[in-house]
Amino acid sequence: MSPRRETPMVPDAEFRSYYGLPVINPPVWEEREIAGYIFLGGLAGASSAMAAGAALTGRPGLARAAKLASALAMTGSMGALVKDLGKPSRFYNMLRTFKPTSPMSVGSWILAGFAPAAFIAAGTDLTGRFPRTGTAATLGAAVLGPAVSTYTAVLLADTAVPAWREGWRELPPLFAGSSLAAAAGVGLAAAPAGQSGPAVGMAVIGAAVELTASARLESATGLAGQAYSAPEAARLLRAGRVLTAAGAGGALAARLLGSGGRARPFRRRSIGALSRASGAALILASACTRFGVFRGGMASARDPQYTVVPQRARLDSGSAGGGQAGAGHPHVAAAPGHAGAVQVGE
Amino acid sequence: MGFFTDTSICIGCKACEVACKEWNQVPEDGLNFTGMSYDNTQGLGADTWRHVAFIEQPRRLGAQQVDLHHEGDGQFRWLMSSDVCKHCTQAGCLDVCPTGALFRTEFGTVVVQEDVCNGCGYCIPACPFGVIDQRKGDGRAWKCTLCYDRLKADMEPACAKACPTKSIQFGPLEELRTRAAGRVEELHQRGVSEARLYGHDPDDGVGGAGAMFLLLDEPEVYGLPPDPVVSTRQLPDMWRRAAVSALGLAGAVAVAFLGTRR
């Protein structure tokens, strides 16, 4: 990428804090495991939907690639999720209860249904054994797959992490679009050339949704959205956008160039290579976007301004979180000369 | 049951921090020198269930006569406040716990069952106050239990018991709210116009806290969120949004397959 200058970070908002320390405790989730899972889970969910589409429309090559990708991504996901637990040996406690108020509980149950279906779908496809069980598993995984791809947006939004919480409207479509594009990438990169047509459509729709939601995540979420301009997050999000656009554009170009039929072998090989490279770009783009979103949230958790400034504004405008602004709240006008990030005696 | 912490009479002795550690056998939480006034504890976490904040300000406290500060006009005040888990009525940590390790006790408090917690860490970013955290080397989430064991034995929590000025008061929430309102009134009459309550309102974003505070400045100065709202309040909208997105994903796949020529 071109060495573009970073846009300046948020100008120091006037707010008060306790020695600049974070108000909330930042998540203890490891980036590689959790952001990695959110990427792989999204890819697996949308791939399973693509696998069913391919199976139902007579594209066995595309179906096999999608089922294998889904099963592989789920294997990685389950490993990452268990590894990130503080007590991995107690992973089964996730299924001790079902709590609709806990996106992680809901997600665990969705995965408990989805992962076996994805494994059976891939296993039966590879071995050719139990075809009817395989079809049922393929369809089952396709039904649960979209939920696997999008519930992780709620998982992040249902926290006190400002950049995730304020992005609760944008994260689900962003994750849906990013998952679609990633699965399309699998189809383009791994399926036989004649069967990857639908992946192009998925790539274009997914990229359009992802790019729109990604832009809104930063622009429509107030101060919290500016956490995504933290350098460590912005680099990845920008890479995600560039790769998404390039991947979808490349896939579409390859499709249009190849549609003339009777192309010469050299040209056919070039078009195939362009298609596969576009697929790889889309998969990488999805990973960049998810890791970027993860890092933006972490940046907003570490800096108290993202917690304090919007809440203070809410209080001062009389729309406190309880809906009963200032009810019985003996709030006194702030003393002058207190602005600044750290409140200490001079 | 809950706490009312009247910070106007806190002397910063940290007896609450020590009593909590002793009674609950909470491990050492780091021997740091921060330079943040007298606060080397820094904040609540897995191994810090009471935290005394120290804030130095070039301001007069009420009508106090001071000449400690040799620069400026000599005005100086020290704010000290013992922070603790709020035991929220609508507790984000409890809502999002996927194992049921966090539960509501018969005293209305919120407690982690350490034999159930699998260390998923979801409660940590769910807490709008930054209270609960993961214990390093142990992996599970820990926080104030409001001395669940002592309450069961009809004893008050260790911190309240140890507080030498009754800055930390323990009792039924209704009684504490009345007492807190009276104390604010009293302070206002005595010229401490900046006295205000925090966490006392059952209509606030967490349905009222089980630990309320009388503060002498804005909450954020003490490291408290000014207007905390439990994240699960919007959860139904979030689920709807995710469901629509999931359907959209499935629809996009269908469109891509139906719209592609062989």
B192 and B165 both lie in a single domain: yes
CATH code of residue A181 = 1.20.1630.10
B80 and B130 both lie in a single domain: yes
Looking at residue B126, its pLDDT comes to: 98
B188 and B247 both lie in a single domain: no
Across-strand partners of A71? none
d(Cα A258, Cα A268) in Å, to the nearest integer?
7
* Structural domain contains residue A324: no
Structural domain of residue B140, as residue ranges? 2-229
* Structural domain contains residue A21: no
CATH code of residue B225 = 3.30.70.20
B139 and B241 both lie in a single domain: no
B49 and B142 both lie in a single domain: yes
- Total domains present in chain B: 2
Q: Contact at 8 Å (CB) between A159 and B126?
A: yes
Looking at residue A119, its pLDDT comes to: 98
Q: How high does pLDDT run on average in chain A?
A: 89
d(Cα A42, Cα B94) in Å, to the nearest integer?
27
* Structural domain contains residue A315: no
To the nearest whole percent, how much of chain B has pLDDT over 90? 89
Model confidence pLDDT, tens digit, residues B68-81: 656 666 778 899 99
From residue B107, alpha-carbon distances to A276, B122, B147, B171, B204 in Å are: 61, 24, 11, 11, 20
Cβ contact, residue pair A86, B227, below 8 Å: no
Window 145-164 of B, Cβ < 8 Å to A: none
Cβ contact, residue pair B246, A15, below 8 Å: no
DSSP A149-165: HHHHHHHHHSSS-HHHH
Q: Does B238 touch chain A (CB under 8 A)?
A: yes
Average pLDDT over residues B232-243: 97
Q: Which residues of B touch A306 (CB under 8 A)?
A: none
Model confidence pLDDT, tens digit, residues A54-99: 999 999 999 999 999 999 999 999 999 999 999 999 999 999 999 9
Structural domain of residue A85, as residue ranges? 31-310
Model confidence pLDDT, tens digit, residues A196-221: 999 999 999 999 999 999 999 999 88
Chain B: nearest CA to A236, how far in angstroms?
23
To the nearest whole percent, how much of chain A has pLDDT over 70? 88
Model confidence pLDDT, tens digit, residues A263-310: 677 888 899 999 999 999 999 999 999 999 999 999 999 999 999 999
* Structural domain contains residue A259: yes
Q: Which residues of B touch A198 (CB under 8 A)?
A: 253, 256-257, 260
Chain A: nearest CA to B167, how far in angstroms?
20
User: What is the number of residues in chain A?
Assistant: 346
- Total domains present in chain A: 1
Copy the structure tokens of residue A299. Answer: 């940046």
d(Cα A338, Cα A308) in Å, to the nearest integer?
15
- Supply the ipTM of this predicted assembly: 0.94
Q: Is the pLDDT of residue B102 over 60?
A: yes
**What is the DSSP code (8-state) at residue B254?**
H
B99 and B132 both lie in a single domain: yes
Average pLDDT over residues B119-139: 97
B87 and B214 both lie in a single domain: yes
Looking at residue B135, its pLDDT comes to: 97
B50 and B111 both lie in a single domain: yes
Sign of CA dihedral A85, A90, A92, A93: negative
Count of pairs with CB atoms under 8 A, one residue in A, one in B:
316
* Structural domain contains residue A11: no
Looking at residue A341, its pLDDT comes to: 35
B100 and B160 both lie in a single domain: yes
Q: Which residues of B touch A344 (CB under 8 A)?
A: 36-37, 55-57
